[in-house]
Structure 1
Amino acid sequence: MRASVRAISAALATVAFACFVPAAAQADPPSDRDCRSFPFAVPQGQLAATLCLPPGQPTDTVMVLMSGSNYNGQYWDFPYEPETYNFRQAMNEAGYATLVVDRLGNGASSKPPALSLTANTTAEALHQIVRSARRGIAGAQPFGKVITVGHSLTSGTSVMEAAAHRDVDGVLLTGYSHAPSYGEILGVISSYYPAVNDPRFAGRGYDPNYLTTRPGSRMHDFFDPADADPAVVDLDEKTKEVFSLSEYPDGMLSMLPGMSSFIDAPVMIATGSKDRLSCGIGYAVCASSETLHAAEAPYFAPEARLRTFVLPGSGHSVNLARNTVDYQAAVVDWANSITGR
């Protein structure tokens, strides 16, 4: 079975990768949260990463939170009304360390030529981050348990990493299913335009193959109006990010039958009931947590102990829905079932 996974990984690979070596930690000044930001070296440059430890309590578990397309790490560490919308803070308060990582091209990470980026590149970088977390990263003690957390595109790369390497203790997939709405996905992607034409990115050195959402389109693409605070959507627009079309072809393969069945760690899938990209025709797959489980269970091995959660009313970006605290609580409950907290 392991040989089969390696074959899948080899088929997806488009470039050969040298060994990844984490860069030396550069600690931030002390603050009211124990967080340290540092670069993580990869063949194409550096990934920006921030490790936060839970306040006043030791932990053996870290969640690696990687931003999906059109987002950077602020999706996980949202500054507006953090008691509601800040997923990173909620996990720290629940006793878990978090490692927020920006994909290449996003946030403070390096910006190589856009068409050099693939989902497999991101999956291999994630694998090296997992390995480093187990050895001790940014001056922290080695973590005994590592849970990967993805959203949309990076849910796909989390599947790729876990299936190929079998080195994680849990996999949280959000904005993801094996019944994507391909028509909606193509419609959304086709509306994107070069980031150099957007006021947020003009003059900042992006090559023209980096794309971003058109102003005002994110409410339709990633939210449901009935479950979105206009102030959240406004800040989401101001902090939007870029992606490359070359990240999608191999990333989409993670949603086909087969790959996810190689994951041998507990898996949780969380979606919004109004996720136009992940819920199939008429949102049928996401009618309830039970319907999502029935649809997804055939794609996972028994070892995955699949758990599903549907956040009522939420669009694609479950972290930013008005009722996101319910999703946060479901994630903590699932993580506790893995770690025995």
Structure 2
Amino acid sequence: MQRCIPRASLALGLALVAAVASFVIVPGVSSASPGDAAPQCESHDLTVPSSVIEGQVVPLPGARLLAGGGDFTIHGSLCLPSGGTPKTVMLALHGITYSNSYWNSEYQPETYNFSRHMTDAGYAVFAIDRLGYGQSSKPPAALVTLDSQAEVAHQVISQLRSGTVGGTAFEHVILVGHSYGTATSWRETATYNDADAVIGTGWANTLQTLLVARFFAGFVPAQLDKRFADRPVGYLTPGPGGREQNYLYDLSNVDPKMIKYDAEVLQDTVTAAEGATFYNRYGAVPVTYVPTTSEELEIPLSAQAKDIKIPTFMINGANELFFCGIDQNHCASSQKLQTEEAKYFSDAACFRAAVIPNAGHDLNLQRNAPDTYAVVVTYANQMLGPDGGNKGSYRASCGAISGTDVDSGQATFGAIEE
């Protein structure tokens, strides 16, 4: 049968009508904020130039005027190991409708707090509220795009290396993304390749477009939720009735209290322009009818990944609905995911992949989140290490497990024993 791509941009493409509004600059704070749950954490507000909005693939006339002048503030939580400051920091980028709290859960942090697990392993973590989220600046929605998010990430990497964040000039930076945060890190890396490695979760090079459209169908203007009443026009949030939990979790392996915490504490917004530019930049919307015999439609994203020249790692849940292919067949195993995805990268990416059993899209919120964290640490240690000592050796030995000729992945990232 034939299926036409539904109006996925109906909710997402509202960027075209995003109105002019002033953005909010959040004053600097020195004490921990509610999202900063891990030990040894401090809040930092960075200043990034408003010129980040000018790096659009499709120029936005009058963007500077829309921004209202001045710079933007990016809020983040810097968490350090108890033993001191390492040479390696992870820059964590959350997905849509979240903030840095996705990485810094206060609900059962011993299980769900990413920053705590990484600092226990010896790494520093700087988890930011991306532009338009949490305590960061809220420009007009039309300016908060995939392009501007990538430019902000580039600015933050530079400041981590220069010592602006916490007074430490980190020698090594690992980009860690979740969902749209991974899209942001890939776009930034394809342009600059200025981090040492990129770890993406909840993302891949194929997309189940119909499922994404269904997920966004229930989104409403953020102003209808009293928590986000001050957001400019064009900001969206999940509507009443929850966060479309069937799309985000493996419901057989999630704490109902976490679902409640997610909806009541972690939930944030998204701009229509982020959705519109994601589809636009990744070429994910066909221009004609597409025949398929499947209930869903699997569409390859752009060739942008070929421009990534630093070590790249992908982690998905076995029951990831959006990015694991038809019937989740790409995520049948770590080796299968690596085989399916390696063809999109060049050898320079030293591409690796892992699948987490009994997990969905929001890996940090599943009961087995520590399994995900253990895989992240294993990869980070092999590729770099808290002191960066493995960087050269990993690059020298990764040729056998990268590129288009991959038949199977390393046993290290095979199935995780329950």
- TM-score normalized by structure 1? 0.88
* Residue 114 of structure 2 is aligned to residue 68 of structure 1: no
The match for 1:46 is 73
- What do residues 248-280 of structure 1 show as CA deviations (whole Å, max 9, x unaligned)? 233343572421111111111011111111112
The match for 1:310 is 355
- C-alpha change, 1:211 and 1:303, in structure 2 (3 Å) is same
The match for 2:84 is 57
Report how far residue 121 of structure 1 moved.
Answer: 0.3
The match for 2:244 is 218
The match for 1:120 is 147
| Counterpart among 124, 127, 139 of residue 100 in structure 1 | 127
State the AA in 2 paired with 1:33. P
- C-alpha change, 1:24 and 1:217, in structure 2 (3 Å) is closer
| Counterpart among 313, 336, 343 of residue 268 in structure 1 | 313
| Counterpart among 333, 342, 345 of residue 297 in structure 1 | 342
State the AA in 1 paired with 2:210. G
The match for 1:287 is 332
State the AA in 1 paired with 2:325. G
Contact 2:39 2:116 in 1 (8 A): no
Distance in 1, matches of 2:341 and 2:38, equals 41
Distance in 2, matches of 1:32 and 1:260, equals 33
Q: SS of 1:200's equivalent?
A: helix
State the AA in 2 paired with 1:333. T
State the AA in 2 paired with 1:317. D
Contact 1:211 1:244 in 2 (8 A): yes
The match for 1:177 is 204
Contact 1:24 1:138 in 2 (8 A): no
- C-alpha change, 1:24 and 1:63, in structure 2 (3 Å) is farther
Distance in 1, matches of 2:304 and 2:151, equals 15
Distance in 2, matches of 1:108 and 1:78, equals 16
State the percentage of identical aligned residues. Answer: 34
- C-alpha change, 1:32 and 1:113, in structure 2 (3 Å) is closer
Distance in 2, matches of 1:107 and 1:127, equals 19
* Residue 31 of structure 2 is aligned to residue 28 of structure 1: yes
Greater Rg over alpha carbons, structure: 2
* Residue 167 of structure 2 is aligned to residue 164 of structure 1: no
| Counterpart among 205, 217, 222 of residue 195 in structure 1 | 222
- What do residues 194-219 of structure 1 show as CA deviations (whole Å, max 9, x unaligned)? 11112433xx3123321111232431
- C-alpha change, 1:101 and 1:340, in structure 2 (3 Å) is closer
- C-alpha change, 1:273 and 1:104, in structure 2 (3 Å) is same
The match for 1:4 is none
Distance in 2, matches of 1:87 and 1:170, equals 18
Distance in 2, matches of 1:54 and 1:223, equals 30
The match for 2:255 is 229
| Counterpart among 155, 158, 162 of residue 135 in structure 1 | 162
Contact 1:179 1:285 in 2 (8 A): no
Distance in 1, matches of 2:97 and 2:210, equals 19
Distance in 2, matches of 1:237 and 1:250, equals 26
State the AA in 2 paired with 1:303. A
Report how far residue 303 of structure 1 moved.
Answer: 1.9
State the AA in 1 paired with 2:356. L
Distance in 2, matches of 1:74 and 1:190, equals 25
The match for 2:272 is 245
Structure 1 stretch displaced more, 72-81 or 192-201: 192-201
The match for 1:323 is 368
Distance in 1, matches of 2:46 and 2:244, equals 30
The match for 1:19 is none
The match for 2:406 is none
State the AA in 1 paired with 2:44. F
- What do residues 129-172 of structure 1 show as CA deviations (whole Å, max 9, x unaligned)? 11111111233321111001111111111001111101110101
Distance in 2, matches of 1:146 and 1:221, equals 31
- What do residues 257-316 of structure 1 show as CA deviations (whole Å, max 9, x unaligned)? 421111111111011111111112211111111111111101111121111111112111
Q: SS of 1:41's equivalent?
A: strand
- C-alpha change, 1:122 and 1:36, in structure 2 (3 Å) is same
Contact 2:38 2:104 in 1 (8 A): no
The match for 1:205 is 230
Contact 1:311 1:324 in 2 (8 A): no
- TM-score normalized by structure 2? 0.72
Report how far residue 32 of structure 1 moved.
Answer: 8.7
The match for 2:402 is none
Could you list the runs of 5+ residues in structure 1 that have no partner in the other structure? 1-22
Contact 1:218 1:233 in 2 (8 A): no
Distance in 2, matches of 1:145 and 1:63, equals 9
The match for 1:82 is 109
Could you list the runs of 5+ residues in structure 2 that have no partner in the other structure? 1-25, 51-66, 283-299, 387-418
Distance in 2, matches of 1:117 and 1:305, equals 31
Distance in 1, matches of 2:162 and 2:77, equals 17
